[in-house]
């Protein structure tokens, strides 16, 4: 979602070929976002129309698992659905919420924060060092990210680039 806010959602397509989002994320980010005139809603919708962002239907048991997860953890429905889909599909999930990351970790699900996506794109030579810096700066305007974290990512990128 944060990548859509900085108009860099396509980096996910370049990295992974496609992205799966659960129904609630689509409702919250696209449907409600469009009603509010949020430009990121149109970025995500464009990915859906192009076919590389897929909205996955939740099986009945996944819905039950999502409700149970929300009942036991302080996370929202979008995070809970994303965690359950990742668990069931045995795939990593992108999470920026601290509590959601803790829940995913406790379930043995691989996760990463959005802030690491530009670094991964840099390591895989999808973006330049200049683009990496720009993306991190842009993300720091839409996510709560410590300047120390940004500095560490840039330091690591410098080592990779050597």
Q: Hey, what are 60's tokens?
A: 């009945």
| Residue in the block written with tokens 């995070």 | 79
Structure-block tokens of residue 82: 């994303």
Q: How would residue 162 be classed by pLDDT, with cut points 50, 70 and 90?
A: low
Q: Considering just the CA atoms, what is the radius of gyration of the chain in Å?
A: 16
Asked if 83 contacts 47 with a C-beta cutoff of 8 angstroms, the reply is no
Structure tokens at 133: 């810096």
Taking only the tens place, the pLDDT of each residue in 29-68 is 999 999 999 989 999 999 999 999 999 999 999 999 999 9
pLDDT of 8 over the 80 cut: yes
Q: Calculate the alpha carbon distances from 70 to 3, 37, 76, 93, 155 in Å.
A: 25, 29, 7, 17, 37
pLDDT in tens, 91-148: 999 999 999 999 999 999 999 999 999 999 999 999 999 999 999 999 999 999 999 9
pTM of whole model > 0.95? no
Q: Write down the pLDDT at residue 160.
A: 84
Specify the 3-state DSSP secondary structure of 19.
strand
């Amino acid at each position: 979602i944060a990548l859509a806010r900085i108009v860099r959602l396509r980096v996910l397509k370049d990295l992974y070929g496609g992205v799966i989002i659960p129904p609630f994320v689509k409702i919250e980010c696209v449907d409600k976002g469009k009603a509010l005139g949020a430009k990121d809603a149109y970025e995500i919708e464009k990915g859906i129309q192009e076919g590389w962002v897929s909205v996955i239907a939740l099986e009945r048991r996944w819905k039950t698992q999502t409700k149970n997860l929300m009942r036991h953890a302080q996370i929202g429905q979008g995070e809970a659905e994303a965690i359950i889909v990742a668990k069931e599909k045995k795939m990593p999930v992108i999470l920026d919420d601290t509590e959601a990351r803790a829940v995913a970790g406790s379930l043995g699900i691989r996760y990463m924060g959005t802030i690491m996506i530009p670094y991964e794109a840099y390591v895989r030579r999808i973006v330049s060092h200049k683009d990496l810096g720009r993306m991190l700066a842009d993300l720091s305007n839409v996510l709560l990210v410590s300047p120390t974290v940004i500095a560490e990512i840039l330091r690591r990128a410098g080592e990779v680039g050597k």
